[in-house]
Amino acid sequence: MTAAINRTPLASDDDWWRSAVVYQVYVRSFADANGDGVGDLQGIRERLPYLRELGVDALWLTPFFTSPQIDGGYDVADYRDVDPMFGTLADFDAMITDAHALGLRIIVDLVPNHTSSAHPWFRAALAARPGSAERERYLFADGKGEQGELPPNDWESIFGGPAWTRVADGQWYLHLFDPAQPDLNWRHPEVRAEFEDVLRFWLDRGVDGFRIDVAHGMIKAEGLPDVGFNSMTTGRRQSELLGKGRLPYFDQDEVHDIYRAWRPILDSYPGGRMAVAEAWAETPQRLARYIGPDELHQAFSFDFLDATWSADSFRKVIDTALAESTIVGAPTTWVLSNHDRQRHVTRYGDGEVGLRRARAAALLMLALPGCAYLYQGEELGLPEVLDLPDELRQDPAFLRTGESRDGCRVPIPWSGELAPYGFSPEGCELSWLPAPATWRALSVAAQTGVPGSTLELYRAALRIRHEHPALAGTAGAVTWLEAGPGVLAFRRSAGDTVLTCAVNVSGAEVVIDGYGRPIVASAELTEQGGGHLLPVDAAAWFERR
């Protein structure tokens, strides 16, 4: 086993998030302590030592609040309580206390764009009449057509189909996601006050930050204007414009008022409480507007995740991201996978090729300055599970579009010979999604202490990232090096100490010379002349002091 990272519990550094490695815990698939086949807070608590050994700085927990779980908890019915499926508030308190004692910070997921249809506010809205105060907290509208039988406009749900559902008295309500996720009216002062209070509720319980779900969505253009096309009229889905174009329901200027009100709340607590936006905007410049000393601390950059396996593609997104971070004065975020996207082993080609590339990409990401977000299981090299039986799939998008995010949400294999591989307690065979037989060899136990395993690669890289002067903190700007076609190479330095990261995307093995001694590699290097042969789809870090 690798040596534990040497650090004091919770370094008192307000800027911790600038260089942190944040591990995303998809709560229902991480670890199940009570044996019901669903991950829970006590399961996380029991696995905190694993996460500390892995060497991450913080955890982002996906929603564990009271919810009917129509969209995996992104449909919240009570923002101030834990769903019984995941435990209790006392479990949360115990978990965060232990996490902090181990030096791990906790980020929780805030879902402000919509509530669950089971939220008391929405129930009250349904029970009340059109035009009532209860309906004003949501976006109810009369339909078009002679009897109001057509939706108020042409907006489309991100999960497919119309973004409007009609209620018994004939009015329609807006839901940019599932009908069980009605959008809130963020021009309503009660909505604003409520969420400011929810922020304080979790800050008081000690959370170190928030991931803001659909952070670009809360304000809709006045008058709810049509987009002009949708899949019903032209066959083109509006969601194609995500991150590329303007939509009247996303990235409206007024949304920034909300974050300007939130920032002083975060700043009024000690210890560097932060917020990261899951935001989509037309241009990187518009995305950058969410970040700054008077708004949020970070926004996920999904360009790195979307980069294809080529030197040009990576180089371009890295350069753009670094340039932007200089402009906004906030560090870049790097993401390769999350609970909404196909796992990167599979995106990069699946099987052995995909795994090789995923390991190399990890070394690339972890050598870059900024904050890296890991998604649970990527440290094990887990692929997407592509062959889940349809009847087990739970993603609400699946029913509407045939696309499902369940394949990246399969429970983590921890140990043992039989599925679910230690996800649930000994002797318990339940797990809400089945793990494939091939995952036996990928479990935490199967990889721990095994030289060359993906888990040990991540551990080694995280330890070096934490301790190496050229990588630690925000030190060391990126300087690109000319290393031949198809080879990405850059160095970062602190004084005379230089760390060089080289990634071979060229399709043929290459000789790397002159960067010093290799300190970690995603595949075996062989010495050649004075240098080293870097295999196809491999990456390595070299050091010169």
421: phi > 0 → left, psi -120 to 50 → alpha, else beta; which? left
Does the annotation count 527 as an active-site position? no
Please select the residue that binds ligand BGC; options are 174, 214, 311, 361, rule is CB under 6 A: 214
Q: How near is the Cβ of 430 to Mg ion at its closest, in Å?
A: 9
379: phi > 0 → left, psi -120 to 50 → alpha, else beta; which? alpha
The answer to the question of residue 207 lying near ligand BGC (CB under 6 A) is no
The answer to the question of residue 71 lying near ligand BGC (CB under 6 A) is yes
β-pairing verdict for 78-82 and 65-66: antiparallel
Closest CA to 515 of 497, 500, 495, 535: 500
State how far the Cα of 135 lies from the Cα of 487, in Å rounded to an integer. 58
The answer to the question of residue 212 lying near ligand BGC (CB under 6 A) is no
Residue 33 or 111 having the CB closest to ligand BGC:
111
Place of tokens 């030190």: 475
State how far the Cα of 230 lies from the Cα of 160, in Å rounded to an integer. 10
Q: Name the binder of 340 from Mg ion, ligand BGC, none, CB < 5-8 A by kind.
A: ligand BGC
Place of tokens 């009015």: 171
Does the annotation count 98 as an active-site position? no
Please select the residue that binds ligand BGC; options are 38, 54, 99, 111, rule is CB under 6 A: 111
The answer to the question of residue 46 lying near ligand BGC (CB under 6 A) is no
Binding mask 34-53 for Mg ion (x = CB under 5 A): x-x-x-x-------------
Which residue of this chain has its Cβ atom nearest to ligand BGC in the complex?
74
State how far the Cα of 150 lies from the Cα of 172, in Å rounded to an integer. 9
Check if the beta carbon of residue 370 is closer than 8 Å to that of residue 332: yes
State how far the Cα of 475 lies from the Cα of 469, in Å rounded to an integer. 7
Binding mask 288-327 for ligand BGC (x = CB under 6 A): ----------------------------------------
Check if the beta carbon of residue 401 is closer than 8 Å to that of residue 393: no
Q: Of the listed 208, 213, 406, 456, which one is catalytic?
A: 213
Q: What is the DSSP letter of 207?
A: -
Q: How near is the Cβ of 111 to ligand BGC at its closest, in Å?
A: 6
Residues between 327 and 346 that touch ligand BGC (CB under 6 A): 339-340
Q: Name the binder of 74 from ligand BGC, Mg ion, none, CB < 5-8 A by kind.
A: ligand BGC
Q: How near is the Cβ of 449 to ligand BGC at its closest, in Å?
A: 34
The answer to the question of residue 251 lying near ligand BGC (CB under 6 A) is no
Please select the residue that binds ligand BGC; options are 74, 122, 195, 249, rule is CB under 6 A: 74
Check if the beta carbon of residue 176 is closer than 8 Å to that of residue 183: yes
Q: How near is the Cβ of 430 to ligand BGC at its closest, in Å?
A: 23
By the 10 Å C-beta count (0-12 exposed, 13-18 middle, 19+ buried), 430 is classed as middle
Residue 113 or 424 having the CB closest to Mg ion:
424
Is omega for the bond preceding 451 within 30 degrees of 0, making it cis? no
Contacts with Mg ion, residue ranges (CB under 5 A): 32, 34, 36, 38, 40
